[in-house]
């Protein structure tokens, strides 16, 4: 137990926050790792693979932090749950789809994550603040990469596909900021320095300004209450893949 | 125009540690400087093996490999430390200095 | 100097350990031989991605997930490095990919086979990469300098893969009886292709690649080196190598059941159990992402 002084209610809320952060990184890392070996160009293949590995690395650090709170094991949290127990945002329920969707989703996700991490770097829970600061160092590269791609596609013959993909991803992207159970407690204790609703406003402004420059506008969207609990067949399929070996033999070490 | 010509080759030079010389690492293909930078970082830095990278469009490099210019046939020993053989002269000088003392 | 004398001087240069750079003059047949050799190597790295890629989504722990993704990523990176070497010899990358996907050029036999379980991930990373590194280490002395330099970088990365593969195998061998059975099963299936991988023994006097020092060691020499290092390492884990005739004589030379060279020829010409499926998968994904390259590379793309 590394967080003495936290009340049970705070600890439960903190666990929920860490799980949502970790699951976001874990699931997007899995979908995007699927590009390894088949991306549009060999050079880009290696770049996208690194980014997906970074996300899995971040998920691992977050699961470990969570595991230290709950006296569990990071791998057991990642690979030992049923689909319904995952807490990633609905944006990440969708399959890899195509390159346009991957770029659109990554852009919305990376900008949201940057907004979220900037706040969490000021968290009163020091292990999380430290981890967020460390993650931001890698995420800033992801942001550069994805904005380069966004601009290239928006100014080329792929512009229409990109626009369609952004339109498709936009409503579910709101779910990154779906209020958490116990969020009030997190804000009160300074673990989450600002409510997710405020972060969402800042994120939407940032997205609007980048896309505005590219002549893309997205309709207003609402935050669904079940944004982090809704699951899809596509995610069920992914879950079946990533638990295939891990669940194949009770108690085995891999 | 073929895809080959629209995509450029960028040569990547890497410095392994601070203060080391920049050494040619290899090359990447990318349509612009931004992506060239990303790809150079991937191919020559993803294992934390580089301290600094230079990314140069291949066409900016001028090559010189003419042996007549680089390895000219006449004596250049006066330009190298090894071109000055002083051992015997030093011995003679020391001997002479010893005698005159 | 006439063309014949120039070629003779060139071959005397490479024969005595001299190096050749991309911009240097070289005889057409040397250029063609290097290109063919490097192109097949590049194709093999690219196709070698696919059997292991099937397990990227199935890796059973966070660390294994990272290690396997990184390993497959390295293979893609190697394909890029090698296609860059080949491109500079004059054949465009798009043309090489088109030839590969159309079955006009080849890739190594081992990448034509299926992967059946997580143990295959360990056996491939450990033993297939080990067999590959034996020949790649020899290629660091290639007379074609850009290739030799690339092999230095590749060998360094491959050594990590072997550690990853061996770690997967060791973990399973220390695990449950079922896990051990999976490893034995994978070894049983991969041993034949592994023994074929370096190719049948060749006559050194007729092997152009050897003569011109594009490669530095013959097929049988590479196989002997692989066996010397890895047979003891396999056996010490309690694994059984599926060849009753395998033994080392007093001079250190390995004897083994003659590998099935007909199978090798058939497999590398596109008749392996997974040859067509994997090529079709490449064609499909290449077609699916064509619009991206077109968009990225500008309006002239329609002509590509």
* Pairing of the two strands B23-30 and B8-15: antiparallel
Is C77 close to B42, i.e. CB distance below 8 A?
A: yes
Interface membership of B33 toward C (CB under 8 Å): no
How many helices and strands in chain B, by DSSP H and E?
4, 3
Q: Which residues of A110-140 are buried (b: 16+ CB within 10 A; e: fewer)?
A: bbbbbbbbbbbbebebebbbebbeebbeebe
Residue B26 to residue B40: CA distance in whole angstroms: 9
**Residue C289 contacts by C-beta under 8 Å, 6 or more apart in sequence?**
A38, A39, A40, A99
DSSP-derived letter for residue C244 is: T
Candidates B28, B35, B1, B23; CA nearest to C85 is B28
Q: How do residues C241-296 score in pLDDT, each as one tens digit?
A: 999 999 999 999 999 999 999 999 999 999 999 999 999 999 999 999 999 999 98
Residues of B in contact with A50 (CB under 8 A): 42, 46
Interface membership of B66 toward C (CB under 8 Å): no
pTM of the shown model: 0.94
- Give the confidence band of A3 by pLDDT, cuts at 50, 70, 90: low
* Per-residue model confidence (pLDDT) at position C299: 55
- Give the confidence band of A254 by pLDDT, cuts at 50, 70, 90: very high
Q: How do residues A115-129 score in pLDDT, each as one tens digit?
A: 999 999 999 999 999
Q: Output the CA torsion sign for C283, C286, C289, C293.
A: negative
Residue C59 to residue A211: CA distance in whole angstroms: 37
Residues of chain A above pLDDT 70, percent: 98
Neighbours of chain A (3+ CB pairs under 8 A): B, C
By CB atoms closer than 10 A (0-12, 13-18, 19+), residue A168 is: middle
Residue A82 to residue A198: CA distance in whole angstroms: 31
Evaluate whether A173 touches A91 at the Cβ level (below 8 Å).
yes
Evaluate whether A90 touches A172 at the Cβ level (below 8 Å).
yes
What does the DSSP assignment read for A108-174? HHHHHHHHHHHHHTT-SSHHHHHHHHHHHHHHHHHHHHHHHHHHHHHTSTTHHHHHHHHHHHHHHHG
Residue C160 to residue C150: CA distance in whole angstroms: 16
Candidates A24, A30, A61; CA nearest to A227 is A24
Is B38 close to A46, i.e. CB distance below 8 A?
A: no
**pLDDT score of C89 more than 80:** yes
Evaluate whether C82 touches C150 at the Cβ level (below 8 Å).
yes
Residues of C in contact with B4 (CB under 8 A): 87, 92-94
Interface membership of B41 toward C (CB under 8 Å): no
Evaluate whether B11 touches B43 at the Cβ level (below 8 Å).
no
Residues of A in contact with B31 (CB under 8 A): 152
Q: Which pair of structure tokens corresponds to residue A7?
A: 């009340």
* Per-residue model confidence (pLDDT) at position C22: 95
Q: How do residues C178-232 score in pLDDT, each as one tens digit?
A: 999 999 999 999 999 999 999 999 888 888 888 888 888 999 999 999 999 999 9
Q: How do residues C21-33 score in pLDDT, each as one tens digit?
A: 999 999 999 999 9
Helix (H, G, I), strand (E, B) or coil at C76: helix
| Helix or strand run (H / E) with residue C255 | strand C254-255
Evaluate whether A30 touches C50 at the Cβ level (below 8 Å).
no
Is C80 close to A42, i.e. CB distance below 8 A?
A: yes
| Helix or strand run (H / E) with residue B25 | strand B23-30
Residue C36 to residue C22: CA distance in whole angstroms: 15
**Residue C207 contacts by C-beta under 8 Å, 6 or more apart in sequence?**
C218
State ipTM. 0.96
Neighbours of chain C (3+ CB pairs under 8 A): A, B
Helix (H, G, I), strand (E, B) or coil at B13: strand
DSSP-derived letter for residue C216 is: S
Q: Which residue has the tokens 């996907």?
A: C101
Interface membership of A145 toward B (CB under 8 Å): yes
Cα B18 to chain centroid distance, Å, stands at 16
Is B42 close to C304, i.e. CB distance below 8 A?
A: no
Residue A172 to residue A191: CA distance in whole angstroms: 25
Candidates A207, A138, A136; CA nearest to A166 is A207
């Amino acid at each position: 137990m590394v967080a003495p002084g936290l009340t049970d209610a705070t600890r439960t809320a903190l666990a929920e926050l860490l799980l949502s952060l970790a699951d976001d990184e874990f699931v997007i890392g899995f979908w995007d790792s699927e590009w390894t070996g088949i991306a549009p160009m060999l050079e880009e293949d290696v770049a996208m693979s690194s980014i997906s590995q970074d996300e899995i690395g971040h998920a691992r650090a977050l699961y470990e932090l969570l595991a230290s709170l709950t006296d569990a094991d990071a791998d057991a949290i990642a690979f030992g749950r049923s689909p319904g127990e995952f807490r990633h945002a609905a944006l990440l329920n969708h399959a890899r789809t195509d390159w346009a969707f991957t770029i659109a989703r990554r852009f919305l996700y990376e900008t949201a994550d940057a907004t979220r991490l900037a706040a969490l770097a000021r968290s009163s829970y020091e292990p999380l603040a430290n981890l967020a600061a460390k993650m931001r160092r890698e995420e800033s590269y992801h942001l550069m990469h994805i904005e380069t791609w966004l601009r290239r596609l928006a100014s080329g013959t792929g512009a229409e596909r990109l626009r369609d993909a952004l339109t498709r991803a936009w409503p579910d992207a709101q779910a990154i900021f779906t209020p958490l159970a116990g969020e009030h407690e997190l804000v009160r204790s300074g673990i989450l320095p600002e409510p997710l609703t405020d972060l969402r406003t800042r994120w939407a402004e940032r997205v609007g300004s980048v896309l505005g420059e590219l002549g893309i506008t997205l309709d207003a969207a609402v935050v669904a209450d079940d944004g982090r609990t809704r699951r899809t067949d596509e995610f069920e399929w992914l879950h079946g893949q990533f638990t295939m070996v891990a669940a194949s033999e009770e108690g085995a070490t891999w | 125009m073929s895809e080959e010509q629209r995509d450029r080759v960028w040569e990547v030079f890497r410095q392994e540690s601070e203060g080391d010389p920049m050494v040619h690492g290899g090359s990447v293909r990318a349509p612009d400087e931004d992506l060239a930078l990303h790809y150079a970082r991937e191919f020559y830095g993803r294992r934390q093996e580089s301290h600094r990278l230079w990314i140069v469009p291949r066409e900016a490099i001028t090559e010189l490999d003419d042996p007549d210019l680089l390895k000219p046939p006449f004596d250049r020993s006066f330009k190298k430390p090894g071109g000055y053989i002083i051992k015997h002269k030093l011995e003679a000088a020391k001997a002479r200095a010893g005698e005159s003392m | 100097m006439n063309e014949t004398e120039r070629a003779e001087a060139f071959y005397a240069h490479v024969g005595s350990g001299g190096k050749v750079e991309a911009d240097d003059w070289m005889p057409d047949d040397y250029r063609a031989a290097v290109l063919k050799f490097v192109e097949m190597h590049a194709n093999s790295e690219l196709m070698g991605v696919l059997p292991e890629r099937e397990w990227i989504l199935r890796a059973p722990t966070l660390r294994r997930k990272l290690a396997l993704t990184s390993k497959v990523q390295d293979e893609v990176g190697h394909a890029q490095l090698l296609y860059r070497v080949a491109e500079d010899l004059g054949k465009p990358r798009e043309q090489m990919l088109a030839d590969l996907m159309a079955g006009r050029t080849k890739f190594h036999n081992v990448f034509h086979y299926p992967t059946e379980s997580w143990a295959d991930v360990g056996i491939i990373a450990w033993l297939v990469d080990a067999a590959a590194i034996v020949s790649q280490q020899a290629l660091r002395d290639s007379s074609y300098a850009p290739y030799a330099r690339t092999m230095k970088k590749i060998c360094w990365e491959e050594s990590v893969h072997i550690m990853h593969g061996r770690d997967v195998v060791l973990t399973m061998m220390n695990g449950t009886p079922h896990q051990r059975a999976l490893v034995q099963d994978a070894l049983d299936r991969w041993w034949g292709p592994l023994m074929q991988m370096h190719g049948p023994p060749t006559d050194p006097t007729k092997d152009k690649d050897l003569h011109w020092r594009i490669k530095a060691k013959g097929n049988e020499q590479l196989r002997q080196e692989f066996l010397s290092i890895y047979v003891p390492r396999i056996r010490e884990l309690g694994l059984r190598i599926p060849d009753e005739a395998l033994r080392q004589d007093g001079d250190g030379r390995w004897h083994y059941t003659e590998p099935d060279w007909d199978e090798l020829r058939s497999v590398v010409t596109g008749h392996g159990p997974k040859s067509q499926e994997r090529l079709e998968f490449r064609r499909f994904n290449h077609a699916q992402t064509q619009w991206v390259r077109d968009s990225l590379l500008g309006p002239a793309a329609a002509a590509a």
